[in-house]
Chains A and B, each alone.
Chain A
């Protein structure tokens, strides 16, 4: 493996939206990170196991189909059991169904242990800037 900082990327749960995943993969790789892309339909334990195996510094979770809340809940606890409690957890996409104030969504996911929560329509540059900042 290279000396590049590794991050895990994937679309969680039963969600198979693949396009954004590919774009993020390209953009974050181009920014100098080694992206371990788990693709779509990724269960929580795969994120955790991949992070342990690769000593990744961040897990980037995407969810587009509105199931985000049930799929994402508990991921921080799994990281704790697995000994990677300090890993960065980012999440973004269409996290809930219907018109919900994003502030509420953000609060909910922060409470679930995520470090950053992205509003729909966020560009990869923002995520990369945050990674650079958080991993300084």
Chain B
């Protein structure tokens, strides 16, 4: 017997997955209400009791945890040019599993410093300038951040020549300042892994403590990473394989939550047709984007604004008034669940709108230029038209009778051919809700995690 318990301390629920590693089986899943304020163990014990009621008493050889509790890992990123180092810093933070509160660019003003202080980030990522490039802005920003009045850990990932000076300025006022490699060492070269690793390390050592998660330490062997990073890790494993087990190839994952829609793609995203020039910042192979205005509960109002009642009503085949009324109901009571067929249809349509808009913003675009030398195409971002697998996870998908209807929002749209979304994907559903758990398991048992995902994440 080799049982492992995988825990996801979420902001609402603590979700647990018990796995028998030798048999490569999920023994059971359960959840309890997360209580960060009083004792994080309450929710875990609740979940364990629910699990044992189904499976009987279990012993665990190992317990691994991830967390998005207490607001998750909240970060602010700062860079120089919005489309360059500021964007690179944002991608590094998202890849580390953070919730990026805001991205700042150019020289920070006093107003922006006040804004950062009010946002109360857990970590700040400071970038700017290529190696050998601009030095002035990151030095200025270090000086400004030193006067923040909050003791926030800062990861410094900018121009290497001034990194020591930047660290020195910040260290006079802040306890933890961590230099790491430049997120953009050369023009058009992205290097986000070292910053990702530094963020994760600080998360493990400091943030879990600040959020009270260390109170779970008597039970949990290791808090491994923020939950979104675990999902990204799982997606990378399932796509690329691991420990000798082959993966599925290019894929996308959609995680629709109450507050946000997370979109992941594991693919290079190079042009799939000839004669296309690539422009803009290179894309991370494992890319995560988060849409804070697309969600089923806390963000239902924002979703209505972003999608428009028309889009949702068209998907649901109901009137726009009915959509507006339902969203108002959900906003007034976020625990509200669909009561009749119309509401269920609207719920599916809302999910589809989350998928559609989240994917539109995640994938690349192709722009056509007409020149004397004929038609020319320029691609920015990833071409994901040939992605073969789309995986759905998150409450509305897992608990829905028609998850494919929701996931179809990801499909390439003939009327918007410049948006490079998947054309002929196969839809798989994470119906046991195990992706984050498999990302954790994959840290120690990559091949087992890949095989288990292939076994449990399947067509509806």
A and B form one complex = yes
Contact between A45 and B187, CB atoms less than 8 A apart: yes
Residue A78 at the chain B interface, CB threshold 8 Å? yes
How many A residues touch the partner, as a band? 10 to 19
| B280, closest chain A residue (CB) | A74
Distance of A78 Cα from B187 Cα, bound (Å):
7
> Can you show 10 pairs from A to B with CB atoms below 8 A apart?
A45-B188, A65-B373, A70-B279, A70-B369, A80-B81, A80-B134, A81-B81, A82-B130, A82-B134, A83-B130
A48 cross-chain contacts in B, Cβ below 8 A: 187
Residue A85 at the chain B interface, CB threshold 8 Å? yes
Distance of A14 Cα from B369 Cα, bound (Å):
14
Contact between A52 and B376, CB atoms less than 8 A apart: no
A78 cross-chain contacts in B, Cβ below 8 A: 81, 84, 187
Interface size on B, residues (CB 8 A): 27
| B184, closest chain A residue (CB) | A81
Residue B71 at the chain A interface, CB threshold 8 Å? no
Residue A97 at the chain B interface, CB threshold 8 Å? yes
Residue A116 at the chain B interface, CB threshold 8 Å? no
CB interface residues, A 83-124, toward B, < 8 Å: 83, 85, 97
Contact between B371 and A66, CB atoms less than 8 A apart: yes
Distance of A66 Cα from B279 Cα, bound (Å):
18
Residue A77 at the chain B interface, CB threshold 8 Å? yes
CB-based A-B contact count at 8 angstroms = 60
Distance of A82 Cα from B85 Cα, bound (Å):
11
B129 cross-chain contacts in A, Cβ below 8 A: 81-83
Distance of A78 Cα from B184 Cα, bound (Å):
12
Contact between B371 and A81, CB atoms less than 8 A apart: no
Distance of A52 Cα from B159 Cα, bound (Å):
14
Query: Which among B186, B187, B188 has the greatest number of chain A C-beta atoms within 10 A?
Result: B187
B132 cross-chain contacts in A, Cβ below 8 A: 52, 82-83
Distance of A97 Cα from B371 Cα, bound (Å):
7
CB interface residues, B 403-458, toward A, < 8 Å: none
Query: Which among A66, A70, A81 has the greatest number of chain B C-beta atoms within 10 A?
Result: A81
Residue B135 at the chain A interface, CB threshold 8 Å? yes
Query: Closest Cβ of chain A: how far from B166's Cβ, in Å?
Result: 14
Contact between B369 and A83, CB atoms less than 8 A apart: no
Of B83, B130, B133, B369, which is within 8 A of A74 by CB? B83
Query: Closest Cβ of chain A: how far from B141's Cβ, in Å?
Result: 14
| A77, closest chain B residue (CB) | B81
CB interface residues, B 134-174, toward A, < 8 Å: 134-136, 159
A65/B133 contact (C-beta < 8 A), A45-B188, A80-B80, A81-B184 known: no
Of B133, B188, B373, which is within 8 A of A83 by CB? B133
Distance of A80 Cα from B370 Cα, bound (Å):
30
CB interface residues, B 171-210, toward A, < 8 Å: 184, 186-188
Contact bitstring A46-77, B, C-beta under 8 A = 1, else 0? 00110010000000000001110010001001
A80 cross-chain contacts in B, Cβ below 8 A: 80-81, 134
Contact between A82 and B187, CB atoms less than 8 A apart: yes
Of B84, B136, B186, B369, which is within 8 A of A77 by CB? B84
Of B85, B370, B372, which is within 8 A of A81 by CB? B85
A81/B133 contact (C-beta < 8 A), A66-B372, A67-B376, A74-B83 known: yes
Contact between A82 and B133, CB atoms less than 8 A apart: yes
Distance of A65 Cα from B371 Cα, bound (Å):
8
Contact between A70 and B378, CB atoms less than 8 A apart: yes
A66 cross-chain contacts in B, Cβ below 8 A: 371-373
A83 cross-chain contacts in B, Cβ below 8 A: 129-130, 132-136, 159
Distance of A45 Cα from B130 Cα, bound (Å):
12
| A96, closest chain B residue (CB) | B371
